[in-house]
Structure 1
Amino acid sequence: MPPIISVRNLDKVYASGFHALRDVSLDIRRGEILALLGPNGAGKTTLISIICGIVRASSGTVTVDGHDIVRDYRAARAKIGLVPQELSTDTFEKVWATLRFSRGLFGKAPDPAHLEKVLRELSLWDKRDSKIMTLSGGMKRRVLIAKALAHEPSILFLDEPTAGVDVELRHDMWRMVRRLRDEGATIILTTHYIEEAEEMADRIGVIAKGELVVVEDKATLMRKLGRKQLTLSLREPLERVPDVLADQPLELAQDGHALVYTFDTQTEETGIAALLKRLAEQGIDFKDLHSSESSLEDIFVGLVHGKPQQAAA
């Protein structure tokens, strides 16, 4: 199927001269959960804002379900629900009224049953007649999510949706995200909680200094860029790695009591077996071994800073 969102050669330079995005091209698949990771100022929010028609790109094109975001803005924007980072909403309005208004903005006929369903899923039903200004920060965040879902969008952007919220809301939100994806919605989220991306996303995109460093299926990314380490505790210490083993990715611990072998999933079985055989041939015996592997966070840090991946302890 064609991508539901297609971004081509996107650049954004602000009046100050800041180059927020540099030649970004990205296809977002229909029905997937895509997590965009990157440090503060990397360009994540700028990219989302351009796709949603809030910010105009300096150059490049964006189509949403076949609609150009500039030439056919209303049709493109109607496909999208956006939960922004900032807690900005109609503070003097009541919860139910602001959802009804948001739905009407997109030309949707009134549907009280849908709005009730959204409010109940976000534990807001009891607050439907409360003014937004009286709600806690977590409840206001829930209202923003409800507003984004009021017009039944097929694409949902979540920009740092769980930053500073309580555990209960986080669990409610991810339960809803899974349900929406199961119903065919496309979810794009930015997050600083890498464990959430690791748990929720189908694909991972990493942005650094306005450039899209990588976009890859999560499992493929972990397989390609993840590293594993096998630590062998030696019965007798070594002064150095024997010359006959110099072709192996081996490091000797500082005290000489352990050898550390770094490998990837493609060389795991044959590499370890061959290593153990060669160690035995050299009379090097070990009393214990344990393995560890890099996490998505290790991979992310390595991609952003251009460092080789190290396995987590």
Structure 2
Amino acid sequence: MARIGELDLPARLAPAVPQVATQIGFGLLCAAAAITFRAVVDLIAPAAGPYALGYVAVLVATLFARWPAGAITAVFTILYSWYFILPVFNSFAFGSPLDGPRTIVNASAYAAIVVVAELFRRAVRWAVAERDREVAERDLFLEEFDHRVKNNFALVASLLDLQRRRADDPATAEALSRAQTRIESIARAHRHLYRGGASVDAVDMQVYLRELCAALSEALFLRATITLTCEADHVRMARDRAVSIGLVVNELVTNAAKHAFVGRDAGNIQVRFRAHGDGWLLEVADNGIGIPEEMQIKGREGGLGQRLVTAFAGQAGGTLSTESDPHGTVTRLTLEA
């Protein structure tokens, strides 16, 4: 019923059609529909319920075109039933002493329907306006929040870069550089997923991953001989889960760009995301030198990057697996629906 109350024909058709014209026209249309239906019923049950069929017409006219339309429908429906349906036929005279009170009661019922339907319509319109106002306020708040978060990310990244430039120890500088890269990765995910106009609940993974890979290629200064390609299906995924997947991609691509092609002039990194069984499969593959044997020792905890990949995979609700040999490395993240 709320959807019905939201459809206000005079407002929808204005200013092309004056509101008064819309109300009169729709009121007459509803009255004509009720009279036509009355004529059909009279073929089966003549004079049965002379005023009953007008109730629905009055209700519809009021809900869709406000109370004047309902009043017009009520007046024409009552006059038609009084003149053509009640005995004496084709006359406003009453054939029974009870017909007068019956007409008054039905006219009062029509009036009550118009009043109640109009109050309902106005309540719905007020609720819709209030909802729109709250949505506008929420959008304004989210825009301000988004702006502040972007500034905070930029500030943290700048501070890390400043400390990195001042660091005398190469190991410290490298750690600060990695931290800066990860902060920028999170900022990049935020920028792609929370910008204005995006869906509130879900993200198109094809669009997101392609944009993320393009940004990574630019940020990592990949040489022309080392390429980063991305293939992804159109999959709608919850924002938080998409962020976690994007961070997994960021860590794996960053690691591959820095370590997979040592001593090589050319190489390729591929990111693939597609439907897989009842869920999805993310693959990040390279044709580099593979993971060193000492790093593949069973039970080895690995560095911070590996621990972050594992943590992000857990947040995404997926399972990680890695295959590596001297011809390259493939890391798969299997996600359940």
TM-score range, shorter chain: under 0.3
Instruction: Work out which structure has the larger RCO, using CA pairs closer than 8 Å and 6 or more positions apart in sequence.
Output: 1
Structure whose alpha-carbon radius of gyration is higher: 2
TM (normalized to structure 1)? Answer: 0.24
TM (normalized to structure 2)? Answer: 0.23
Write 1 or 2 for the structure with the bigger share of strand: 1
Write 1 or 2 for the structure with the bigger share of helix: 2
